[in-house]
Amino acid sequence: MVHYTVYLSKASEGTDTAAIKSIVEKSKENNLNSGISGILFYKDGYYMQYLEGSREAVDSLMTAIKSDTRNTEVKEVLSGVSRDKLFSGSMEFIDLENISGQESALHGVKAEEISLTGLTQDTALVMDIIRHFAG
């Protein structure tokens, strides 16, 4: 069984594109070594991330994320267990500030109209979007 969790967090003040790219690259390496996969979304200073792997690996990573000063206000949105992983790589990254042509993935809503804080109020929609990008 695969354990998964989705969380929302606020990027620390002063986080720029270069910092986000650095986080993504380091996370890919660390996640691969830990058997973690998933996807990270970024928009308007907020991250939403889906993580999947063994319960121990996901719980350990969530503990590290909560103590990481590069983000604040970490809030777990949902978690559960699945038979299979959705993602085969270590981590995908979607910058919703620089995406176009993905309205169908976002249920007809333009990426520029998406609010990650608002989106996390509808966990079924969150999982639909994650599954779309996994496929």
pLDDT per residue as tens, the chain (135 positions): 999 999 999 999 888 888 888 888 988 888 888 999 999 999 989 999 999 999 999 999 999 999 998 889 999 999 999 999 999 888 899 888 877 655 555 666 666 667 888 888 889 889 988 998 886
Is residue 74 within 8 Å of residue 66, measured between CB atoms? yes
Residue 114 CB coordination number (10 Å) = 19
The pLDDT of residue 72? 93
Sheet-wide strand order for 92-95: 71-82, 2-11, 46-53, 37-43, 92-95
pLDDT of residue 41: 92
* Domains recognised in the chain with CATH numbers: 2-134 (3.30.70.100)
Nearest-CA neighbor of 79 among 4, 29, 18, 24? 4
Give the model's pLDDT for residue 63. Answer: 96
Chain centroid offset of residue 14 CA: 20
What is the predicted pLDDT for the residue at 74?
96
Q: What is the pLDDT of residue 81?
A: 98
Q: Are strands 92-95 and 46-53 parallel, antiparallel or unpaired?
A: unpaired
Per-residue pLDDT, 132: 84
Please report the pLDDT score of residue 10 as a whole number.
95
AA letter at 38? G
Rg, the chain, Cα only: 14
